Amino acid sequence: MTNLFYETSLGKYYLDRAEDFINSEEGAKFHGRVQLLITSPPFPLNKKKKYGNLKGEEYRAWFSNLSEAFSKLLTDDGSIVIEMGNSWEAERPVYSTLHLESLLGFLKNQKANLNLCQEFICYNPSRLPSPAQWVTVNRFRTIDSYTHVWWMSKSDTPKADNSKVLRPYSASMKRLLKKQKYNSGKRPSEHDIGETSFLKDNGGSIMPNVLEIEQIDETRERRVPGNIFSISNTNSSDFFLKACRERGITPHPARMPLELVQFFVEFLTDKGDLVFDPFAGSNTTGFIAEKLERNWVATEVMKDYGEQSMVRFEDPNLDTTLSKK
């Protein structure tokens, strides 16, 4: 039976398997209402983790079948955003293709009717050397420091507005806008740049599809959207991590970065829309949704993670009320 663990001013956190919740009487209330489903599912790892993960064909079948359930939740112009890391063959220094095969199975599930809108790369230079055996012991692989982020939808034109996630103009672009002059004409790439193509001030430049969790090059100005948190995943000032340390809580080991979630919530939803995370863990998604005045629903199978996720809503910068059931 679906168990409502706690709720806040805008959201609900359930202790349940994602598939069971979606197919339950309670989950049916949200069918066709979710504007954004964003999550980081258990990766197909070779070493069993506390938060649970399957392997091989079992993982591929499980993940592929999720798309039908997830699709039921979406509005007609809703989006699914899934973060997936790379996986390695057991005891071998070679990539597994399982995560890619699983993604294709998810996307090609005809009962889900999904399109791949775009791929993003989430780069985090602070990730620990992994896999350690091949990086720090044998030293014949480099650090695996990024994850794939896949944006999918049922529609060719899901709700999206990149003007809400503009990054500041570069210094050279600011000079160009001030001078109102640049070299127009054909480029070696065969692009023909018009005389006024770059003279309009749009308030910032469009984000690329590589998201920096920390600055790649510290010698240049960091250009992330002004409304996106500038908090790295290892930042000691993060309220949740600080509170966990003080209380002796071991945080969920595979938390989605705050900036990653916020970017897509800003990009793909409006205030009042519904956001859902089926593998919520410490509930980064619910926290961001609450902060940005979106409604949210989250599911998680492990009560320990549900308990620690409540810490997020004690953040003094968050105006909300939490009620445990």
Residue 91, pLDDT score: 86
| Residue 183 identity (one-letter amino acid) | N
Residue 226, pLDDT score: 53
Q: Is the pLDDT of residue 79 over 50?
A: yes
Residue 232's pLDDT band, with cuts at 50, 70 and 90, is very low
Residue 220's pLDDT band, with cuts at 50, 70 and 90, is low
CA nearest neighbour of 255 among 271, 231, 274, 275: 231
Mean model confidence pLDDT for the chain: 87
Residue ranges of the chain that CATH labels 3.40.50.150: 3-168+204-324
Question: H or E stretch including 300?
Answer: strand 295-300
Residue 247's pLDDT band, with cuts at 50, 70 and 90, is very high
Residue 16's pLDDT band, with cuts at 50, 70 and 90, is very high
Residue 123's pLDDT band, with cuts at 50, 70 and 90, is confident
Question: H or E stretch including 100?
Answer: helix 98-108
Residue 254, pLDDT score: 79
Residue 51's pLDDT band, with cuts at 50, 70 and 90, is very low
Angle (CA) 281 286 287, round 5° = 100
Structure tokens at 147: 């994850």
Exposed e or buried b per residue across 195-231, where buried means at least 16 C-beta atoms within 10 angstroms of its C-beta? eeeeeeeeebeebeeebbbbeeeeeeeebbbeebbeb
Average pLDDT on 25-47 reads 88
Q: What percent of the chain has pLDDT over 70?
A: 88
Residue 216's pLDDT band, with cuts at 50, 70 and 90, is low
Average pLDDT on 64-85 reads 96
Structure tokens at 148: 């794939």
Determine the Cα–Cα distance for residues 66 and 71; give it in Å rounded to an integer.
9
Q: Residue 208 in 3-state DSSP?
A: coil
Residue 233, pLDDT score: 42
Residue 111, pLDDT score: 94
Q: Is the pLDDT of residue 192 over 50?
A: yes
Residue 234's pLDDT band, with cuts at 50, 70 and 90, is very low
Cα Rg of the chain (Å, integer):
21
Q: Is the pLDDT of residue 1 over 60?
A: no
Question: H or E stretch including 39?
Answer: strand 34-39
Q: Regarding predicted confidence, which is higher, 52 or 31?
A: 31
Determine the Cα–Cα distance for residues 283 and 312; give it in Å rounded to an integer.
8
| Residue 81 identity (one-letter amino acid) | V
Q: What percent of the chain has pLDDT over 90?
A: 54
The answer to whether 309 touches 18, Cβ cutoff 8 Å, is no
CA–CA distances in Å: residue 19 to residues 23, 63, 198, 279: 6, 11, 48, 10
**Per mean pLDDT, which range of 106-110, 200-204, 259-263, 319-323 is the poorest?**
200-204
**Range with the largest mean pLDDT of 51-60, 192-201, 309-318:** 309-318
Determine the Cα–Cα distance for residues 280 and 13; give it in Å rounded to an integer.
8
Q: Is the pLDDT of residue 50 over 70?
A: no
Residue identified by tokens 């940005």 is: 292
The answer to whether 277 touches 285, Cβ cutoff 8 Å, is yes
Q: What is the pLDDT of residues 160-189, one digit of tens each?
A: 999 999 988 888 888 888 888 888 888 887
Question: H or E stretch including 247?
Answer: helix 239-247
Taking domain 3-168+204-324, whether its CATH number is 3.40.50.300 is answered by no
Residue 2, pLDDT score: 64
Q: Is the pLDDT of residue 231 over 50?
A: no
Q: What is the DSSP letter of 76?
A: E
Task: Let me know if 57 is exposed, middle or buried by CB neighbors in 10 A (0-12, 13-18, 19+).
Answer: exposed
91: left (phi > 0), else alpha (psi -120 to 50), else beta?
A: left
The answer to whether 254 touches 276, Cβ cutoff 8 Å, is no
